[in-house]
Amino acid sequence: MSYSAKIGPSILSSDLACLGNECVRMMECGADYLHLDVMDGHFVPNITFGHPMVECLRNCVGPDPFFDMHMMVSRPEQWVKPMAAAGANQYTFHIEATTNAGNLIKEIRESGMRVGLAIKPGTTVEELAPWAGQIDMALVMTVEPGFGGQSFMEDMMPKVSWLRSQFPSLDIEVDGGVGPSTIHKCAEAGANMIVSGSAVLSSEDPRSVIAMLRTAVLEAIQKRSLDR
């Protein structure tokens, strides 16, 4: 097993007027990466921000923080080069948004970014499976994309378990309603990259929440390796 526990605060849950400072604060509190939600008003109803904001954040936080771009957009092909130029490290697109995933994966790699592939709750994990050997990370949405504050969908955990059993070294991310009360279900299913929004950002002690989430994942990884 070559995957590790990584906690990525979802910065959309932060004080957007202080976004740069919030990113710095999260990294200082022990975040492993930053999860940035890009919404275009088409693939999902909301609109957030685009590559100019990402470039500003990169200039603010410096070269080290890892930017995981969750591209909730209807034309993911359009934004690969702009996001790479802006300083994105990983480009996570939705399989539902493209008819040529293979070409898009190739384009993302050629732009120097890691490749993430996401599925909405209504999409079967089998639709992602053919691409699992070509991507760096699979994202299993545990809420409907596009809105914060939704309840965690525990019935998505079999997708995570199946991916972990079939692709033991793949990074598997969960996003939506994940916090201290739901992390153990995610960790036990096999998720190792944990996106957490308000549970971390709205906490009075985000450092301890991040540490708790990481510990839960590390313990599950350790247990899985002992069980093999």
Residues flagged as binding site for a divalent metal cation: 35, 37, 70, 175
Catalytic residue, from 37, 40, 68, 171: name it. Answer: 37
DSSP SS3 for 39:
strand
User: Can you give the C-alpha Rg of the chain in angstroms?
Assistant: 16
N-to-C CA span, the chain: 10
DSSP SS3 for 53:
helix
For residues 201 and 221, give the distance between their C-alpha atoms in angstroms, rounded to a whole number: 25
Active site residue 171: no
Contact (Cβ atoms closer than 8 angstroms) between residue 223 and residue 214:
no
* Residue positions forming the annotated binding site: 10, 35, 37, 70, 146-149, 175, 177, 197-198
Active site residue 37: yes
Task: Report in angstroms the alpha-carbon separations of 113 from 104, 190, 204.
Answer: 12, 24, 34
* Residue positions forming the annotated binding site for substrate: 10, 70, 146-149, 177, 197-198
- For every residue of 74-89, DSSP letters joined together read S-GGGGHHHHHHHT-S
For residues 57 and 61, give the distance between their C-alpha atoms in angstroms, rounded to a whole number: 6
Contact (Cβ atoms closer than 8 angstroms) between residue 19 and residue 225:
no
Give the length of the chain. Answer: 228
Residue type at 218 in one-letter notation: L
Catalytic residue, from 32, 40, 171, 175: name it. Answer: 175
List residues with catalytic annotation: 37, 175
